[in-house]
Amino acid sequence: MRSDFLEQIATLDVVCLAGGVGGAKLAEGLAQVVPPERLTVIVNTGDDFQHLGLTVCPDLDTVLYTLGGVANPETGWGRVGESWKTIKETDRLGGAAWFKLGDLDLATHLVRSQLLAEGQTLTAVTRHLCIHFDIQVQLLPMSDQPAPTMIASEEELLPFQIWFVRERWQPAVREVCLPQDVRATPQVMHALEYADIVVLAPSNPFVSIDPILHAYPIREMIMDLPRAVVAVSPIIGGKAVKGPAAKMMAELGMSASSKSVARYYGELIDGFIYDQQDAGQCDNLACSTLISDTLMVDAKSRVRLATELLQFALSIAE
Ligand code: GDP
Ligand code: CA
Q: What is the pLDDT of residues 112-145, one digit of tens each?
A: 999 999 999 999 999 999 999 999 999 999 999 9
Question: Residue 112 has what pLDDT?
Answer: 98
In this prediction, residue 77 has a pLDDT band, given cuts at 50, 70 and 90, of confident
3-48+138-317: what CATH class? alpha beta
In this prediction, residue 6 has a pLDDT band, given cuts at 50, 70 and 90, of confident
Query: For the whole model, what pTM was predicted?
Result: 0.97
Residue 76 pLDDT > 90, yes or no? no
Question: Residue 290 has what pLDDT?
Answer: 97
Q: Across all residues in the chain, what is the average pLDDT?
A: 96
Q: How far, in Å, from the CA of 118 to the mean position of ligand 1?
A: 34
Q: How far, in Å, from the CA of 286 to the mean position of ligand 1?
A: 24
SS (HEC) of the chain: CHHHHHHHHCCCCEEEEECCHHHHHHHHHHHHHCCHHHEEEEECCCCCEEECCEEECHHHHHHHHHHCCCECCCCCCCECCCCCHHHHHHHHCCCCCCCCCCHHHHHHHHHHHHHHHCCCCHHHHHHHHHHHCCCCCEEEECCCCCCCCEEEECCCEEEHHHHHHHCCCCCCEEEEECCCCCECCHHHHHHHHCCCEEEECCCCHHHHHHHHHHCECHHHHHHCCCCCEEEECCEECCEECCCCHHHHHHHCCCCCCHHHHHHHHHHHCCEEEEEHHHCCCCCCCCCEEEEECCCCCCHHHHHHHHHHHHHHHHHHHC
Instruction: Please write the tens of the pLDDT for every residue from 221-269.
Output: 999 987 799 999 999 999 999 999 999 999 999 999 999 999 999 999 9
Domain ranges of the chain: 3-48+138-317
303 CB near ligand 1 (under 6 Å): no
66 CB near ligand 1 (under 6 Å): no
Percent of the chain with pLDDT strictly greater than 70: 99
19 CB near ligand 1 (under 6 Å): yes
In this prediction, residue 1 has a pLDDT band, given cuts at 50, 70 and 90, of low
The whole-number average pLDDT for the span 61-79 is: 94
- Which ligand is in closest contact with the Cα of 205? 1
Question: Residue 87 has what pLDDT?
Answer: 96
Instruction: Please write the tens of the pLDDT for every residue from 260-293.
Output: 999 999 999 999 999 999 999 999 899 999 999 9
105 vs 76: which has the higher pLDDT: 105
Question: Residue 226 has what pLDDT?
Answer: 72
Q: How far, in Å, from the CA of 214 to the mean position of ligand 1?
A: 20
Instruction: Please write the tens of the pLDDT for every residue from 144-202.
Output: 999 999 999 999 999 999 999 999 999 999 999 999 999 999 999 999 999 999 999 99
Instruction: Please write the tens of the pLDDT for every residue from 297-314.
Output: 999 999 999 999 999 999
